[in-house]
């Protein structure tokens, strides 16, 4: 009987030992000062918004191309391009943290940074940083052929689409008109219209002329030429030079003939630069990856719009009007871009 009891006790002890051996093992205590440090950093899911402009402009398709690049090449990042009122509105969105990337004209960025021009009665916007300079944006003055307009001086008494409220186009329109001694009060009517709205009203002859600041060719303008005859109104070179003396971001360019149907002659025009702006507090690693992938997957942008050819790493900092984001700078430093 005693032997039987002893055998049963040995069986119980063996089972208990086996169960203990199969249980979860206690992690070894951290050593060498590594207490509390995780071995791996898990990539967080991040939503990134790209503020562009009107759907008929250049910002919108380029923003879509960037979203495609980031969605396909940066793990954990979900990108979305949003149509907006463009430059001035985008300054507000990025400074308030409501978007992570914004397309903005470099002149408007400078005005916000320095508290001048359209930002003169507001606080300086200092919580933004530059990511990249992109391409020239041409200030196109598109008139209906029927209007008889041949020069900027002819805009007096005419119905003029000056750009969407809060847009860089509206700032350009006002400044160019001022060089000719024209105010909005001198116009027959100043309409604050987006690219698409201006295009529709040009086709319907509800406005005589429209200002469009965008890369060439601009989809909204090309669409107008399918159903209406247009004329590109030149800006005199001496007026552009006087503009540049006041506002250092203006430069003289030539709109080559053939960009738009029925306009085969070269036309002089003023231009500014498009750029990408991000919030000051954007994560450095994220900013680095956004910058890197834009250039390393640039062909996606080129395939989307002709202006993608103008987006080059070697000119990424040319004319940068504000401080560069540290994450973007890290990438440029690696590539030797100063």
185 with 117, same domain: the answer is no
Tokens read off for 294: 């834009």
Question: Which of these, 8, 118, 102, lies nearest to 51 by C-alpha position?
Answer: 102
Domain for residue 84, yes or no? yes
293 with 269, same domain: the answer is no
Domain for residue 22, yes or no? no
256 with 311, same domain: the answer is no
CATH of the domain at 50: 3.40.190.10
188 with 290, same domain: the answer is no
Q: What is the pLDDT of residue 80?
A: 95
Domain for residue 118, yes or no? yes
Domain for residue 170, yes or no? yes
If pLDDT is split at 50, 70 and 90, which confidence band does 1 have? very low
Domain for residue 56, yes or no? yes
Q: What is the pLDDT of residue 249?
A: 85
What integer is the mean pLDDT of 102-113?
A: 94
Q: Which residues pair with 136 in a beta bridge?
A: 273
Contact 44, 76 (CB under 8 A): yes
Calpha distance 67→46 (Å, rounded): 13
Q: Which of 22-26, 98-102, 137-141, 258-262 has the least mean pLDDT?
A: 22-26
173 with 241, same domain: the answer is yes
Q: Which structural domain range is residue 53 located in?
A: 46-134+275-334
Q: What is the pLDDT of residues 172-224, one digit of tens each?
A: 999 999 999 999 999 999 999 988 899 999 999 999 999 999 888 888 899 99
**∠ CA(304), CA(310), CA(312), 5° rounding?**
105
Residue 156 has pLDDT above 70, yes or no: yes
Residue 11 has pLDDT above 50, yes or no: no
Q: What is the pLDDT of residue 195?
A: 86
Last residue of some domain: 273, 291, 325?
273
Residue 8 has pLDDT above 60, yes or no: no
List, as one string, the DSSP characters of 133-152.
Answer: EEEEEEEEEEEEGGGT--SG
Tokens read off for 326: 């540290």
38: preceding bond cis by omega (within 30 degrees): no
Q: What is the pLDDT of residues 289-303, one digit of tens each?
A: 999 999 999 999 999
129 with 249, same domain: the answer is no
If pLDDT is split at 50, 70 and 90, which confidence band does 30 have? very low
146 with 261, same domain: the answer is yes
Domain for residue 16, yes or no? no
Residue 283 has phi, psi (to 5 degrees) of -50, 130
Q: Which of 49-53, 243-247, 322-326 has the least mean pLDDT?
A: 243-247
234 with 281, same domain: the answer is no
Residue 162 has pLDDT above 90, yes or no: yes
Last residue of some domain: 273, 290, 311?
273
Residue 153 has pLDDT above 90, yes or no: yes
Report the Cα–Cα distance between both ends of the chain, in Å, rounded: 92
313 with 253, same domain: the answer is no
Higher pLDDT, 274 or 2: 274
If pLDDT is split at 50, 70 and 90, which confidence band does 114 have? very high
Q: What is the pLDDT of residue 112?
A: 95
Last residue of some domain: 255, 273, 291?
273
What pTM was computed for the model?
0.70
165 with 101, same domain: the answer is no
Residue 18 has pLDDT above 80, yes or no: no
Q: Cite the DSSP H helix spans in 29-162.
A: 59-73, 87-95, 106-114
Residue 26 has pLDDT above 60, yes or no: no
Q: What is the pLDDT of residue 205?
A: 92
Q: Cite the DSSP H helix spans in the chain.
A: 2-22, 59-73, 87-95, 106-114, 168-179, 195-203, 219-225, 237-246, 284-296, 298-304, 326-334
What integer is the mean pLDDT of 227-254?
A: 92
If pLDDT is split at 50, 70 and 90, which confidence band does 158 have? very high
Which range, 162-166, 259-263, 318-322, is most confident? 259-263
What integer is the mean pLDDT of 38-49?
A: 63
Domain for residue 15, yes or no? no
259 with 290, same domain: the answer is no
146 with 268, same domain: the answer is yes
Total of domains in the chain: 2
From residue 303, give the alpha-carbon distance in Å to each of 45, 61, 62, 68, 299. Answer: 28, 11, 10, 12, 6
Domain for residue 1, yes or no? no
Q: What is the pLDDT of residue 266?
A: 97
């Amino acid at each position: 009987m005693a032997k039987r009891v002893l055998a049963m006790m040995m069986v119980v002890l063996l089972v208990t030992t086996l169960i203990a051996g199969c249980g979860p093992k206690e992690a070894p205590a951290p050593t060498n000062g590594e207490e509390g440090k995780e071995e791996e950093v898990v990539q967080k899911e991040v939503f990134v918004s790209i503020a562009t402009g009107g759907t008929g402009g250049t910002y919108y398709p380029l923003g879509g191309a960037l979203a495609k690049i980031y969605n396909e090449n940066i793990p954990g990042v979900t990108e979305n391009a949003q149509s907006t009122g463009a430059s001035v509105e985008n300054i507000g969105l990025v400074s308030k943290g409501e978007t992570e990337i914004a397309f903005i004209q470099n002149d408007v960025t400078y005005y916000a940074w320095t508290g001048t021009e359209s930002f003169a009665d507001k606080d300086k916007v200092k919580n933004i940083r530059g990511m990249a300079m992109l391409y020239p944006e041409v200030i196109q003055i598109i008139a209906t052929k029927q209007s008889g307009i041949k020069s900027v001086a002819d805009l007096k008494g005419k119905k003029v689409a000056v750009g969407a409220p809060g847009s860089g186009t509206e700032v350009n329109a006002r400044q160019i008109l001022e060089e000719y001694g024209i105010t909005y009060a001198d116009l027959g009517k100043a309409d604050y219209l987006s690219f698409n709205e201006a295009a529709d009203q040009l086709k319907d002859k509800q406005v005589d002329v429209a200002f469009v600041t965008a890369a060439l060719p601009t989809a909204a303008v090309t669409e107008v030429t399918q159903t209406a005859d247009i004329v590109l109104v030149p800006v005199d070179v001496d007026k552009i030079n006087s503009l540049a003396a006041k506002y250092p971001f203006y430069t003289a360019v030539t709109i080559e003939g053939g960009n738009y149907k029925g306009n085969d002659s070269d036309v002089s025009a003023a231009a500014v630069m498009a750029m990408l702006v991000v919030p000051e507090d954007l994560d450095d690693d994220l900013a680095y990856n956004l910058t890197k992938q834009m250039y390393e997957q640039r062909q996606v942008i080129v395939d989307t719009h002709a202006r993608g050819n103008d987006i080059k790493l070697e000119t990424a900092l040319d004319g940068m009007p504000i401080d560069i984001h540290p994450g973007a700078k890290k990438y440029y430093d690696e590539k030797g871009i100063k």
